[in-house]
Amino acid sequence: MSALHVRPTEAELAEFRERVRAHIAEHAPPFEAREGHRAPENGEQEALLRTWFASLFDAGFVGADWPVEYGGRADHHPLHDRIVSEEILRARAPRPVDQVNLAAHVLLHFGSDEQKSALLPPIRSSEHVWCQLLSEPDAGSDIAAVRCKGTQRPDGSWVIDGQKTWITDGHWADMGLALIRTDPTSSRHRGLSAFIVPLASPGIEIRPIRTINEAIEVNEVFFDDVTIPPDSLIGEPGQGWSIIMTGLDFERFGIGGNVILLELLIDDLVTVARHGRIDDMPALQHADVRHQVAELAVEVEVAKAFIDDHVERLVAGNEQTGDGSIAKLSFAETYHRVSAYGAQLSTMVCTVAADPDVALAKQRLKECWLWSRAYTVSGGSSEMMRNILAKRRLLLPTH
């Protein structure tokens, strides 16, 4: 995202936005995206999702920031990415898989020429969906506490043993980006290496975890003498921590960039408050409800303002340390507060049973609330984000 890129005019951005909207209208799958239900529920949905994601790459709306030789666009500008994200979210169309973005940027920045040539085209065609194999039992968001081990054989191949957990999309992903401890004498972030792991490899067992909203989004993944070839290693042995941290910076800003989801949440909250009734009057006419909705709407605007400011800094080449963590933290915590209040209000109001808009808004708020804690944990918990900001942004002492 170079500052040397010429900023498009407002007319050019408006024309680009119209092209994105037209593409979504023509190619998006015939079902609405649901929070906490992003993974396909059957083979038909999976085929539709893969076709949809591939169409976004083909049209130059996703992956446009890649180098041109790998499919990117020479006229790409960071504001294009913002528009694509906004329009997909506003259309309630399925969003591209976050883990694919993480894997692509890791490969582009740290992969060998051979790895890029072999693995980037299947990402663009959606032949390969990726997951990230980071979290482990008893470690939570502390991904430095990796125990899953990798041992190199004399022929250069690696054998992986251990367990990963809370692996988003693992049950339908084709490839995994894994953080493995390759130095048994090391601890914490030292001695870790990053690997490409085909999930169809012998010795891998995937066990889906059903979430509180009765969906399968995350999984346990077990490795039992899983052998992968020498060229599965990304970068050098022991470089895994820096590789994954660089990749997660992209993912954390991607999560924070979903602030349009917050606007949609507010829309649903207002729908319920305006049409639901408490004590035989619209809920929004009650002062406490009106004040709470207003406060949450202000929080959403604050989160959105930070993202807008950060995008402008990216355009100017002035991004600051920790911006990705702030974006992720701001989005995740605001999402939880808005959806929690929306779910609570939905149980308090009386609505006309035949009003489908209100019923759908209440369903969305409930599903968002049930999924909201996942956002405060995935990609690094809110506590970890605060720690990162304390160390990197505020330069506070670590002891």
Is residue 200 within 8 A of residue 173, CB to CB? The reply is no
pLDDT tier at 257, thresholds 50, 70, 90: low
pLDDT, one tens digit per residue, over 7-32 is 899 999 999 999 999 999 999 999 99
Domain boundaries, the chain: 10-96, 130-241, 254-393
Mean pLDDT of 308-324: 77
The pLDDT of residue 354: 59
User: What is the phi-psi region of residue 11: left when phi exceeds 0, alpha when psi lies from -120 to 50, beta otherwise?
Assistant: alpha
Helix/strand number for the chain, H first, E second: 11, 10
pLDDT tier at 253, thresholds 50, 70, 90: low
Most confident of 65-69, 307-311, 347-351: 65-69
Is residue 283 within 8 A of residue 361, CB to CB? The reply is no
Is residue 195 within 8 A of residue 215, CB to CB? The reply is no
The share of the chain scoring above pLDDT 70, in percent, equals 93
Does the pLDDT value for residue 266 go beyond 80? yes
Is residue 221 within 8 A of residue 170, CB to CB? The reply is yes
3-state secondary structure 120-132: HHHHHCCCCCEEE
The pLDDT of residue 368: 95
The pLDDT of residue 9: 93
The pLDDT of residue 362: 94
Q: The domain 254-393: what is its CATH number?
A: 1.20.140.10
pLDDT, one tens digit per residue, over 278-297 is 998 999 999 999 999 999 99
d(CA 31, CA 28): 8
Mean pLDDT of 201-216: 93
Is residue 198 within 8 A of residue 174, CB to CB? The reply is yes
Q: What is the DSSP string of 166-190?
A: S-TTTTT-SEEEEEEE--TT--TTT
pLDDT, one tens digit per residue, over 128-146 is 999 999 989 987 666 777 8
Pick 275 or 187 by higher pLDDT. 275
Does the pLDDT value for residue 256 go beyond 70? no
Tokens of 375: 């956002």
Mean pLDDT of 46-64: 96
The pLDDT of residue 201: 97
Active site residue 217: no
Does the pLDDT value for residue 86 go beyond 80? yes
d(CA 121, CA 125): 6
Q: Which of 11-20, 27-36, 305-314, 369-378 comes out lowest in average pLDDT?
A: 305-314
Q: Name which of 355, 360, 375 is nearest 268 in CA terms.
A: 360
The pLDDT of residue 1: 40
Q: Name which of 258, 103, 241, 262 is nearest 179 in CA terms.
A: 241
The beta strands (E) that lie in 114-191 are given as 130-133, 149-152, 158-164, 175-181
d(CA 283, CA 288): 9
Mean pLDDT of the chain: 89
Which of 136, 217, 251, 299 is labelled catalytic?
251
Is residue 328 within 8 A of residue 255, CB to CB? The reply is yes
The pLDDT of residue 146: 87
**Arch. (CATH architecture) of 130-241:** Beta Barrel (2.40)
Residue type, 123: I
CA dihedral 67, 72, 76, 78 (to 10 degrees): -70
